[in-house]
């Protein structure tokens, strides 16, 4: 594998300290806005060139609601992505967006309104979508479908974007789950992996161990348990 980029949905503390531990961050302006261009440019300057920013489209866009609000939210997201030199733009549709013909067409049309300048467009479908529906709709619109690599097969291709969740039965991320995820990531050119914050560091170390030069011969830590939240990355307030 050329690049394994592991990060959290958001960060705490100083971004430069976060970037010493992780390779990417998924920014989720679901209910609030991202900072202005000056602050975003400061964030970009504080991390290595290879560090990846991923921006989740705002709630008003994800709900596919008509009106001027979508136009404004798209404009702001595109500008934020430009300033951050973001690698990915993510659409996370809620369960209310069901697999109807109208919604499929809107998801396809939405991709056409986003920039085609090398940024990855990825889509996470919430609710009752079947994997086959997600794959077909994503293919029509040019989206990369997002699945949980620890629990679901991933789409073929050199690039994958996955979210690994730790809740319910998955809150005990055992070695078998990490090994399964690693098998699905192996051989990819780029793998963007977003993990719940309280297990992100442990999942990253497990994936790195499994995907090392020795491949699956290296032992994965025997058990990944959340064990409560990790301490903040810094005592300072978020930068």
Residue segments in the chain with a per-residue pLDDT below the cut of 50: 168-171, 214, 216-239
Question: Using one digit for the tens of pLDDT, what is the confidence trace for 49-79?
Answer: 999 999 999 999 999 988 888 898 899 999 9
What's the pLDDT score for residue 31? Answer: 55
pLDDT of 69 = 85
What residues does each domain of the chain span?
Answer: 3-224
> Given this model, what pLDDT does residue 174 score?
75
* CATH code assigned to 3-224: 3.20.20.410
Cβ atoms of 120 and 161 within 8 Å: the answer is yes
Write the DSSP string, the chain: --EEEEEEES--S-HHHHHHH-SEEEE--SSSPPPPHHHHHHHHHTS-TT-EEEEEPPHHHHTT--SHHHHHHHHHHHHHHHHHT-SEEEEEE-TTS-S-HHHHHHHHHHHHTS--SS-EEEEEE-SS--HHHHHHHHHHHTPEE-B-TTTS---SSSEEEEEE--SGGGGSEEHHHHHHHHHHHTT-SEEEEEE-GGGHHHHHHHHHHHTSTTGGGSPPPSEE---SPPPPS-SSPP-
């Amino acid at each position: 594998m050329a690049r394994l980029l592991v990060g959290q949905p958001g960060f705490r503390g100083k971004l430069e300290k976060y970037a010493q531990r992780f390779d990417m961050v998924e920014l989720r302006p679901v209910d609030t806005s991202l900072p202005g261009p000056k602050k975003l440019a400061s964030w970009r300057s504080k991390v290595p060139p290879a560090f990846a920013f991923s921006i989740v489209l705002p709630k008003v866009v994800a709900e596919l609601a008509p009106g001027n609000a979508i136009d404004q939210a798209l404009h702001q997201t595109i500008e934020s992505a430009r300033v951050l030199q973001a690698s990915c733009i993510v659409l996370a549709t809620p369960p209310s967006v069901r697999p109807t013909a109208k919604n499929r067409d809107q998801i396809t049309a939405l991709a056409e309104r986003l920039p085609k300048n090398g940024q990855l467009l990825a889509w996470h479908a919430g609710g009752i979508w079947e994997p086959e529906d997600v794959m077909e709709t994503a293919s029509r619109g040019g989206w990369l479908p997002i699945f949980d690599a620890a629990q679901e097969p991933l789409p073929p291709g050199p690039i994958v974007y996955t979210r690994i969740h730790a809740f319910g039965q998955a809150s005990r991320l055992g070695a078998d789950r990490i090994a399964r995820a690693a098998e699905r990531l192996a051989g990819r050119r780029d793998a963007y992996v977003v993990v719940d914050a309280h297990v992100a560091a442990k999942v990253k170390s497990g994936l790195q161990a499994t995907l090392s030069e020795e491949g699956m011969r290296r032992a994965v830590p025997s058990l990944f348990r959340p064990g409560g939240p990790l301490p903040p990355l810094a005592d300072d307030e978020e930068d």
